[in-house]
Chains A and B, each alone.
Chain A
Amino acid sequence: MSVPTAGTVELGTELPPLTARIRRSDLVRYAGASGDFNPIHWNPRVAREVGLPDVIAHGMYTMALGARMLTDWLVDPTRLVEYSVRFVRPVVVPDTDEGVEVRFGGKVVDKRDDGLYRVDVTAECGGEKVFGAARAFVRLD
């Protein structure tokens, strides 16, 4: 895929969407790689004790999947200058082989005076938004 440039990107340009499937094993692996061993991400008993329906994905794991959508598009990941997400709804990950599907989308919505482009990011699971006010600022040549 070609690298997006200021010449090819305009307001309203949509990024290629990303669909990801999250399984319990992904959360265990992410816990190990990130150092976030909060048991609500791998232990159903603890998750229920704190009022959750079941184990939930790390917010940072879903944020990383959204980052992948952005950097798949950017090719050079370091063109991402700022990235922010509000986690408005937990992604519950059932103990099944299928896990749960999360769909990510992105759209160029603004070009700032400093030349950075703003991309609004969406993440949806089971028809519900899991990100709020998720946005990235990216640098394009």
Chain B
Amino acid sequence: MPVDAALVGRTYSTSVPYEVGREKIREFADAVGDPNPAYRDPDAARALGHPDVVAPPTFPIVVAFSLLNQLFTDPSTGLALHRVAHADQRFAYTRPIHSGDRLVGTLTIERVRQVAGADLISTRTEITGVDGDPVCTAFASIVHREETR
């Protein structure tokens, strides 16, 4: 069964704000093997004009992926995480993410279409501070393959 086009417009939101911490930024930077001191050393970040350590460019995926996970585990969608592959990703940054930020996000399913026997699902996640100030928009498209028989 192809994914239902009626999913378009459905949204998923963070239930509690994501609080960005220095150690999580360091853990993420270590995991992607990026030694930039701006991710680890508050003084190095301040020397660049930032109030505290900043997050690496792909860090917003931590918030966005938690929302994608809501989509994948939503029984009404028929999706399964292990049948998903990432097709494309775009980040548009409004301002840097710092340690101490409290972030919320809303993922919207923008488009669903069938390509070569698989479903291509395009999503947009708006990530803001708790006051609604824009931080980053993350666009992700994922391919979902049907179970083979």
Contacts and interface: CB of A to CB of B under 8 A. Distances in A.
Interface residues of B, number: 39
Contacts of B32: 30, 33, 61, 64-65, 67-68
B88 A86 contact: yes
Nearest to A90: B85
B78 to A, nearest CB: 15
B57 A35 contact: no
A67 B50 CA distance: 19
A49 B50 CA distance: 46
Contacts, number: 121
A87 B86 contact: yes
Interface of A: 20, 26, 29-30, 32-40, 46, 49-51, 56, 58-61, 63-65, 67-68, 70-72, 75-78, 80-87, 90
19 contacts: A20-B33, A26-B33, A29-B30, A33-B28, A38-B81, A39-B82, A40-B82, A40-B85, A49-B82, A50-B83, A63-B89, A64-B34, A64-B56, A67-B57, A77-B39, A83-B57, A85-B89, A87-B85, A87-B86
